[in-house]
Amino acid sequence: MKSKPTQEQIKRVLPLILATAIFMQMLDSTILNTSLPAIAHDLHEAVVDMHLAIVSYVLTVALLMPVSGFLADRYGTRRIFIASLVLFALGSLACSMAQNLTQLVLARVLQGIGGSLMVPVGKLALIKTFPKHEFLRAINYAIIPALIGPILGPLVGGYMVDYLSWHWIFIINLPIALVGILLSLYYLPDYRASIAKFDFKGFLLFGIASFLLSASLEMLSNSLRLTPVLLSLLLGLALLYAYYRHARREHSPLFPLNLFQVRTFRVGLLGGLATRLGISSVPLLLPLMIQLAYGQSAVVSGWMVAPMALSAMLSKSMVVSVLNRWGYRRVLVVNTLMIGALICCFALPGPQTPIYWLLPLIALLGFLNSIQFTSMNTLSVADLRPYHTSSGNSLVSVNQQLAIGFGVAFGLVVLKGMEQQTWLTGNSTHAAFRYTFLVVGCLTMLSARVFSRLHARDGQNLQESKANTPA
């Protein structure tokens, strides 16, 4: 009989387990975009209708993610994490076998149920396993897939559709999920926590609010009429306010309001939302500019943005040292300003400039993004008390999901708005992209103001002392 793993063995493998979940989720969310025309043709559907396959997943995740912390505390991190991987894998298999759009949408809902639990529960296990001074290094490597997924997805999707078939974009999840399940059975700790009754009313208010906000973003990014977008947005905000009123009266709310009394949590949440508005739009805007403004193929655009992932991985060995040396406040303020300025630089090359001039900028952006994501993800949970860990981690995950959606929608809205300003762009697609990058970059630089509210010593308990830092 195989002996139980030691604590050191668990610490070595646990970041890899979380990485499998993040990689599947990020790869799946981006690889599908490239394959929609092929799927539409095979299922005899209009391409515009295929967007339901994306919306169904996003809305399911938005609705169910708030409950991830409660389920983990109630039934254990190992059981819920493995169940989420199984559901995601079954959903992927069902997607590959879909014979029509209805079947595909239902399979994507099943995927979404698993996707709403995978990353929050995996990250919760990481938070509870590692001491605070070791958590920074652990999460630093676990989130590499979050950086390479949006870059690798379109590239892999393009090749699979061209040389295999669209079914393989879902089948590829199965071996990854199997690896995650096998590792989890042996290495994933089974944490539980004493909990009060489930705040069902709070879950409905917050979950439906997240659902409506995500729906408004999806409608906004697909050029539907403004009226349903505004109605969905306003109703979502109204339900958030109703949840705030409810949480003030409820003894054990889904997300306690005293979470926001923790400055690092509050700033990390708001700063992450503001900064991701710019950062999340770039993986969408860059390939579009390379294809539409420079007339290159989808495969070329995929290879062009690949250096962003490579430099992000290379920077991982430096992120911990940078934060230990300069501290969270200085790093986040300066790094956010640099990212914003770099996004603005994408507006500099003219239409006749070779696209390879963009490669150094793309590589540097990947390097800075790596620092940014590690810093923001760890800052938000730096000072949470043990009894707030599950709820705080779930709220951070919901915030990230909404922030990414806001970023994609924001980038598309700005681009479409610029295309309509012919007096400014002169009907030039390239000029529309240039002004879009300027707007997105300036907004990102403004978001640095949020991180300036940190104190110089904030996050210090996450930083490694010389005694804890490996030589």
CA angle 219, 427, 290 (to 5 degrees): 70
Spell out a b/e string for 169-199, using b for 16 or more CB atoms within 10 Å of the CB, else e. Answer: bbbbbbebbeebbeebeebbbebebeeeeeb
Q: Alpha-carbon distance 320 to 1, whole Å?
A: 39
Q: Which two tokens stand for residue 25?
A: 């989720």
The pLDDT score that the predictor gives to residue 269 is 86
Nearest to 149 by CA among 31, 275, 304: 31
Q: Angle formed by the axes of helices 7-43 and 144-163, to 10°?
A: 40
pLDDT digits 0-9 by tens, 369-385: 888 888 888 888 777 77
Which region among 240-244, 261-265, 388-392 has the lowest average model confidence (pLDDT)?
Answer: 388-392
Say if CB 6 and CB 187 are below 8 A apart.
no
In terms of Cβ atoms closer than 10 Å to its own Cβ (0-12, 13-18, 19+), residue 467 is: exposed
State the average pLDDT over residues 304-325.
Answer: 79
Say if CB 38 and CB 189 are below 8 A apart.
no
The pLDDT score that the predictor gives to residue 208 is 87
Q: Alpha-carbon distance 427 to 331, whole Å?
A: 40
The pLDDT score that the predictor gives to residue 210 is 82
Nearest to 221 by CA among 61, 421, 405: 405
The pLDDT score that the predictor gives to residue 233 is 86
Q: Alpha-carbon distance 61 to 177, whole Å?
A: 18
Which region among 48-52, 112-116, 120-124, 213-217 has the lowest average model confidence (pLDDT)?
Answer: 48-52
pLDDT higher than 80, residue 26:
no
The pLDDT score that the predictor gives to residue 469 is 35
The pLDDT score that the predictor gives to residue 85 is 94
Residues near 436 by Cβ (< 8 Å), separated by ≥ 6? Answer: 285, 411, 414, 415, 418
Say if CB 305 and CB 283 are below 8 A apart.
yes
The more confidently predicted of residues 161 and 443 is 443
pLDDT higher than 50, residue 183:
yes
Sign of CA dihedral 45, 46, 49, 51: positive
Q: What is the pLDDT confidence band of residue 470, given thresholds at 50, 70 and 90?
A: very low
Q: What is the pLDDT confidence band of residue 107, given thresholds at 50, 70 and 90?
A: very high
pLDDT digits 0-9 by tens, 386-410: 777 777 878 888 888 778 777 777 8
Looking at every residue in the chain, the average pLDDT score rounds to 81
Q: What is the pLDDT confidence band of residue 466, given thresholds at 50, 70 and 90?
A: very low
State the average pLDDT over residues 358-373.
Answer: 88
Q: Alpha-carbon distance 458 to 467, whole Å?
A: 20
The more confidently predicted of residues 389 and 470 is 389
Nearest to 86 by CA among 59, 53, 121: 121
pLDDT digits 0-9 by tens, 134-169: 777 777 777 776 666 666 676 676 677 667 777 888
- Rounded to the nearest angstrom, the gap between the alpha carbon of residue 74 and the centroid of all alpha carbons in its chain is 25
The pLDDT score that the predictor gives to residue 434 is 87
The pLDDT score that the predictor gives to residue 335 is 93
Residues near 307 by Cβ (< 8 Å), separated by ≥ 6? Answer: 359, 362, 363, 366
Say if CB 397 and CB 68 are below 8 A apart.
yes
pLDDT higher than 50, residue 467:
no
Q: Which two tokens stand for residue 17?
A: 């387990």
Amino acid present at 434? R
Q: Alpha-carbon distance 383 to 427, whole Å?
A: 51
Say if CB 34 and CB 305 are below 8 A apart.
no
State the average pLDDT over residues 409-423.
Answer: 79
Residues near 355 by Cβ (< 8 Å), separated by ≥ 6? Answer: 290, 294, 296, 304, 349
The pLDDT score that the predictor gives to residue 221 is 62
Phi, psi (deg, nearest 5) at residue 402: -65, -40
The pLDDT score that the predictor gives to residue 149 is 66
Which region among 94-98, 189-193, 220-224 has the lowest average model confidence (pLDDT)?
Answer: 220-224
pLDDT higher than 90, residue 171:
no
The pLDDT score that the predictor gives to residue 58 is 77
Percent of the chain with pLDDT over 70: 88
The pLDDT score that the predictor gives to residue 461 is 64
**Region class of 25: left (phi > 0), else alpha (psi between -120 and 50), else beta:** alpha
Amino acid present at 260? F
> What does the DSSP assignment read for 155-185?
HHHHHHHHHS-TTHHHHTHHHHHHHHHHHHH
